[in-house]
Structure 1
């Protein structure tokens, strides 16, 4: 029997980040995952916005961001025209690279066990795990960070409830220009021109020396269009976005085309003594809304910075302790915001009601106005920083 304070089940982004944070805090923990190195998987492929703030709270930001590629600027387009160019803090990184970078930050005194949990029993004091290799682990707390794996949740009587089946489908693939060394844009977000495309947006962004593409659509899991896109992605993209060539020029999709349908789901009977669910194990989010990493990082930083140290400071691990995390205002607000964004973006992309059409045009006008404003400010700035007589930039000006 191996004894520890925290047993983390699942070595994806949530589990690996938690193991690194707890280990650095001096909390006895073990990480259980069957894979020694996390394999390629179509999940989160960039970090930005409030995700960077949450990453800072983990204490793991600096080495993690060194493994990413910053785009610096993104062009936003619709109808084949760029409507604005604005600064961007998107950091591109493949999901397996992200997870393995997190794993590299786990201290050596945190044991990584490569196996599967086949049995679990929980109580208000200690929890017992039985692994596929016969090893047994006794822990004060079990963190379930096993993503979409339902096995252990079923053993505990936790039931998944799907609230929006196949809410969205994400495609991931590499794109390269034909006859040119690079695309003109550093990064691009292309918004659909019509609801019949069932498209949320196309985003292209750099990862190392590759231009990565994520296409977000709303289709049924058995829609033949999904396989048709996979077979001829260039043709399908031009049919969805007839003026895309104005921005991309001649292009081709290189490497495999992967796609992942996502259900929005929650759990019933999740409040259990000695067990806490984090990330997708608690509830799923829509990749199109860009909130998956937000939910994971928010859960993990709350647990590892606040709740787990507090829980371990006193005897027992009853449900009265665990519920503090689930009822945390920051967690509840994050859950509600992620769900609201998922439904809002789907309706904004596919609903033909008058109010949604008005919102689409309003967003377009706002982006276009932003683009015009930025262009004017840039021209004025260039004019201010040049000598009227020579046209050359002034020397010694401080921006």
Structure 2
């Protein structure tokens, strides 16, 4: 049996960040994940905006990780075939597996990494017992469950995942390239919906190394025929829902695999147990359209590793009262509530058909137009590398303005 202070189950964004932070703090930890190298996974593809990047930097890991990403200092905002704004934006393109593996590179040698799955956890107010798929056993004072959407282990602990909105949104990712030209006229762009009935809130284009990446979002049923069309004939399907997009982007081609991922809004119950804490999607999911998934992960892990774990380990026991303090943390609760509000509000303002929602869409159009006018009256487009509150916030996959 291996003994440690903290056992982290799951080596994705939350688990790898936690392992790196605890290792840097000199806290004994073991990271359990079945992958030696994290495999490709269609999730986060961009980090953006001062708020989200500020949360990332609070972990102490951002600067070294972001050196491996593709930066963009300006983001165009467009709608109805017209460019409304060319605003400053601090954003970084980085595929999810590259992001996670970059974080793993920051894990100090003192953190042991075990390539296996956790198959059972027994929790108590003193030490926790974790049984692994390779027949090893770990004894830890605290278990951090960072295994995302994998619910089997949590079910064994009596933790229930309740779906609040099934297939709340659909995320679509693909590579896009200009036809007959060396490049697109924009460094990065967010193109917003043209009509509510298309149920497409926006598409985000951003550089990813030597190519342009596109993240398109939809509020549609998983069996919608349009989702089959976007896989088979993506250019035609995109033109059908955003006819003005071509006016800004010019002629274009879509290459490679078109990836499609539905996202549920779900929350855990029965999670407040001694010796066990849930972070990231293991606790609560959010909507990729709104750009809050990474914010929640970085907030959860930063509060847990910088504040609560050092406090908990300083005294005997790991009772439920200790664990409850993390879930009651004001910054965590505020971030959770904000992400859920945005999930519902963004969907309503994107597909609502009443006069109120129509007015909301035009108001947002007016804000973007006014911001662009302000930039033009200032004399020039914002310089690359400038930072502004007008920069887009990152979603679980890309950004929304």
| Fold agreement, TM-score > 0.5 | yes
Q: CA deviation at 1:224?
A: 2.2
Partner of 2:108: 107
2:175 maps to 1:156: no
TM-score by length of 1: 0.94
Give the Cα separation in 2 of the matches to 1:334 and 1:244.
33
Partner of 2:379: 378
Partner of 1:298: 299
1:33-80 deviations in Å (ceiling 9; x for gaps): 000011111111111221211111111111111011111101100100
TM-score by length of 2: 0.94
Q: CA deviation at 1:373?
A: 1.7
Give the Cα separation in 1 of the matches to 2:21 and 2:148.
19
Q: CA deviation at 1:109?
A: 1.3
Give the Cα separation in 1 of the matches to 2:381 and 2:285.
47
Partner of 1:43: 43
Give the SS at the match of 1:316.
coil
Partner of 1:30: 30
Partner of 2:15: 15
Alignment of 1:174-189 (within 5 A): 174-189=175-190
Give the SS at the match of 1:199.
coil
2:77 maps to 1:76: yes
Give the SS at the match of 1:90.
strand
Partner of 2:216: 215
Instruction: Decide whether aligned partners of structure 1 residues 379 and 225 sit closer, same or farther in structure 2, where only a CA change above 3 A counts.
Output: closer
Instruction: Decide whether aligned partners of structure 1 residues 380 and 164 sit closer, same or farther in structure 2, where only a CA change above 3 A counts.
Output: closer
Q: Which has the higher contact order (CA 8 A, sep 6+)?
A: 2
Partner of 2:3: 3
Partner of 2:61: 60
Give the Cα separation in 1 of the matches to 2:358 and 2:207.
32
2:170 maps to 1:202: no
Q: CA deviation at 1:380?
A: 12
2:330 maps to 1:332: no
* 8 A Cα contact 2:312 2:322, kept in partner: yes
Partner of 2:345: 344
- Structure 1 gap segments, 5+ residues each: 382-399
Instruction: Decide whether aligned partners of structure 1 residues 379 and 214 sit closer, same or farther in structure 2, where only a CA change above 3 A counts.
Output: closer
Partner of 2:398: none
Give the Cα separation in 2 of the matches to 1:187 and 1:304.
34
Q: CA deviation at 1:379?
A: 5.8
1:362-382 deviations in Å (ceiling 9; x for gaps): 11111111111211111699x
* 8 A Cα contact 2:7 2:140, kept in partner: yes
Give the Cα separation in 1 of the matches to 2:381 and 2:325.
54
Partner of 1:388: none
Partner of 2:270: 269
Quick check: which has more Rg, 1 or 2?
A: 1
1:129-184 deviations in Å (ceiling 9; x for gaps): 01011000000000000000001100100000000110000001110111111100
Give the Cα separation in 2 of the matches to 1:233 and 1:379.
35
* 8 A Cα contact 2:375 2:381, kept in partner: no
1:342-368 deviations in Å (ceiling 9; x for gaps): 101000100011111101001111111
Partner of 2:230: 229
Task: Report runs of 4+ in structure 1 exceeding 2 Å deviation.
Answer: none
Superposition RMSD in Å: 1.1
Partner of 2:395: none
1:308-357 deviations in Å (ceiling 9; x for gaps): 00000000001100000000010000000000001010001000111111
Give the SS at the match of 2:180.
coil
- Structure 2 gap segments, 5+ residues each: 383-401
Q: CA deviation at 1:88?
A: 0.4
- Number of equivalences: 381
Give the Cα separation in 1 of the matches to 2:30 and 2:56.
22
